[in-house]
Structure 1
Amino acid sequence: MAEKNVRWGILATGGIAAAFAADLVDLPDAEIVAVASRRQESARAFADRFGAPRAYGDWESLARDEDVDVVYVATPHAAHRAAAGLCLEAGRNVLCEKAFTLNAREAAELVALAREHDRFLMEAMWMYCNPLVRRLRALVDDGAIGEVRTVQADFGLAGPFPPAHRLRDPAMGGGALLDLGVYPVSFAHLLLGEPDGVAASATLSEEGVDLQTGALLSWDSGALASVHCSITGGTGTTASVTGTLGRIDVPAGFFHPERFVLHRDGRAPEEFTADPADGPRTSLRHEAVEVMRALRAGEKESALVPLEGSLAVMRTLDAVRERIGVRYPGEERVPAVAG
């Protein structure tokens, strides 16, 4: 694989799949060779749009395509377990959109399948691969703001979304938490790891999904994180992390920032900006580059988006859902989570 293009399959043809495919086309060492959808006409139209030679009207055919090095699973998260599992069982490597799955049990099943079949698996948490976010974490890890004490992050969309929209549909894993809240929660995990305690409150829809959720995450060290998500109002999508020696503020779009500001006690603020050479701030190319790097190195998971980290985020999301009382069809109850 080190001497040839990495051959991608795209499973699902929605907006996020199109955004990812557009970024793949711009990478000289990536090639889209196959597309799959539940509808042949959708797969064919997508394949024609991005120059893929093969279009399948079912997922199984893509999973069995031995000319595909890695499959990007871009379905709604309610189908991630089925789609990614099918590909792993067929011997394909997988990059799976976030939220990784509906719950931690399903996520653990995917990780077990990847290890059983000796395949690469990564959650498509593009925020973790963003160069400026990586710079922010490096500063925190190097002690630039001292010991982390608080993290704050929010992500809300204005809506309103009608009851038939996927964000309101329990069968699709609807609600603010898994679609939007995964970003603030993952940001807190990036800086502090898995929390020891979880408290949460939410406003639920008539369908039983969360319209907005606020959670307070706590660590035995005394650190706290306040995270919020909403499909009822557009928030600032900002984040900040405060330590014993300073603070880092990330303005709007914290999960794909253009800049952030480091405030250190007794010093002038320092602004860090994205390198134009890294591409547009909305680019998904960095996660694709990380997948291809790992595949060429023979790695089965990414150091930037480790599987245990994805499992930990899913455990936290489960804990939040348990506290706010959101369950999806087929779940007898949200799996019990300590904390």
Structure 2
Amino acid sequence: MSKIIRWGILGTGRIAQDFAKGLQSLPDAKLWAIGSRNLATAEQFGHQFNISKTYANYESLVKDPDIDVVYIATPQERHKQDCLLCLNAGKPILCEKPFMLNAQEAREVITLAREKRLFCMEAMWMRFMPLVQRVKKSIDQGEIGTIRFLTADFGYPVPFDPKSRFFSQPGGGALGDRGIYLLSLAFYLLGEPNSVTSQALFGETGVDEQSSFILNYAQGQQALLFSTLKTYTTNEAMIIGDRGKIKLADPFYRPYQFSVTKYPDIITTGVEQKTHSQKKFIEALKQNSLIQSFLIKLKNFLAQKATKTIFSPPQGNGYHYEAIEVMQCLRNGQLESQIMPLDETVKIMEWMDKIRDQWH
């Protein structure tokens, strides 16, 4: 693999433009070619991002022998056919999220990628954000103890347009556009659940304009997640452990800061080492309303003192972080990312299928 990795992009929509902007910040990446179903659109995109090679169809782009990897930014209903097109042409791929319309499509694409020994990854850019990586490390190191609960929401109002990707089928709806972030975050921090309960509010085009779901885990943990196209939400994430909590600030999927609060030990410290009479005395104190009120106030005060905030905005628009991961994997001969592994992509698609099955 050469020092400069040359990228081809399928699609010219907003997400393709965002990715191209991010890629321009990387000195070891080259925007080599753009493919569209319309030559004028491809040429306009090429002019905007200084791309010399423009193709009026996707088939021509994947035949370009100088392209090292293709970023697929086409509508979700085209992901399967465009991924297969690239893989059959021998091109490694980074495919925009949600990876496919369903788990079966995901399995087909991943099976072909593995058969051809070509790199493949879902473009879940959130996971590669530096602060999300730091939160993951903090949790894995037990900084807030055993995780008990995760809650996150993602929403802002979208003007209704039955032809827009938000409201059209297949692929539209709050779950596909916003819920995918919530599910991916829960998987990344808590792992795979063992059950889900979900409800949705449907609009006139039949897509979920609002959806909520609770993920239940084998060790008793839960994740409460909410996505909507109808209103603003906090767009924050909170991870609660038995020794503290972590809050990812708005927007949690591209955070500029997070805070860690350590729970203070006041009266319960060392209870297991105390005598029977001491334990009874402690329990009696805890039942006293005045003592209980005082302890709550004291805990809140100490919690404020025990909170640290890490402020570190992402560089640029943040899309270059996933590109860095792709290029590192290509140079190392890896066929998939350890941060966004293919088996996990399939599992997330399976749980999206299960959620939708509960709605019908």
- Structure 1 distance, partners of 2:350, 2:310, is 32
- Structure 1 distance, partners of 2:104, 2:163, is 27
| CA-to-aligned-CA distance 1:189-241 (integer Å, 9 cap, x gap) | 11111110011000011221101000011011101000111111111111000
Question: Larger radius of gyration, structure 1 or 2?
Answer: 2
- Structure 2 distance, partners of 1:206, 1:93, is 39
What is the 5 A alignment of 1:100-111?
Answer: 100-111=99-110
Per the alignment, residue 211 of structure 1 pairs with 209
CA RMSD of aligned residues (A): 1.1
SS in 2 for 1:167: coil
Deviation beyond 3 Å, 4+ runs, structure 1: none
- Structure 1 distance, partners of 2:49, 2:4, is 16
What is the 5 A alignment of 1:105-120?
Answer: 105-120=104-119
Any gaps of 5 or more consecutive residues in structure 2?
A: 265-302
| CA-to-aligned-CA distance 1:282-333 (integer Å, 9 cap, x gap) | 32010011101110001100111111111111111111111113xxxxxxxx
Letter in 2 for 1:96: C
| CA-to-aligned-CA distance 1:110-159 (integer Å, 9 cap, x gap) | 11011111100011011111111000000000001111111111111212
What is the 5 A alignment of 1:1-339?
Answer: 1=1, 3-171=2-170, 173-266=171-264, 268-274=306-312, 278-280=314-316, 282-325=317-360
SS in 1 for 2:199: strand
- Structure 2 distance, partners of 1:269, 1:54, is 52
Deviation at 1:76, TM superposition (A): 1.8
Deviation at 1:160, TM superposition (A): 2.9
- Structure 1 distance, partners of 2:311, 2:43, is 40
Letter in 1 for 2:315: G
Instruction: Give the structure-2-normalised TM-score.
Output: 0.87
Aligned residues of 1:37 and 1:58 also touching (Cα < 8 A): yes
Deviation at 1:49, TM superposition (A): 1.4
Aligned residues of 1:194 and 1:316 also touching (Cα < 8 A): no
Per the alignment, residue 285 of structure 2 pairs with none
- Structure 2 distance, partners of 1:225, 1:210, is 20
Aligned residues of 1:161 and 1:231 also touching (Cα < 8 A): no
Aligned residues of 1:176 and 1:211 also touching (Cα < 8 A): yes
- Structure 1 distance, partners of 2:158, 2:71, is 28
- Structure 2 distance, partners of 1:90, 1:116, is 13
- Which range moves more in the overlay, 103-112 or 160-169? 160-169
- Structure 2 distance, partners of 1:78, 1:235, is 28
Deviation at 1:89, TM superposition (A): 1.2
Letter in 1 for 2:308: E
Per the alignment, residue 272 of structure 2 pairs with none
- Structure 2 distance, partners of 1:251, 1:22, is 24
- Structure 2 distance, partners of 1:214, 1:160, is 21
- Structure 2 distance, partners of 1:201, 1:303, is 32
- Structure 1 distance, partners of 2:161, 2:127, is 32
- Structure 1 distance, partners of 2:21, 2:247, is 31
- Structure 2 distance, partners of 1:283, 1:140, is 22
| CA-to-aligned-CA distance 1:257-299 (integer Å, 9 cap, x gap) | 000110111261011121x6x513x320100111011100011
Over the matched positions of the two proteins, sequence identity in percent amounts to: 41
Per the alignment, residue 336 of structure 1 pairs with none
Aligned residues of 1:99 and 1:178 also touching (Cα < 8 A): yes
Aligned residues: 320
Any gaps of 5 or more consecutive residues in structure 1?
A: 326-339
Letter in 2 for 1:212: Q
- Structure 1 distance, partners of 2:164, 2:130, is 33
- Which range moves more in the overlay, 153-162 or 98-107? 153-162
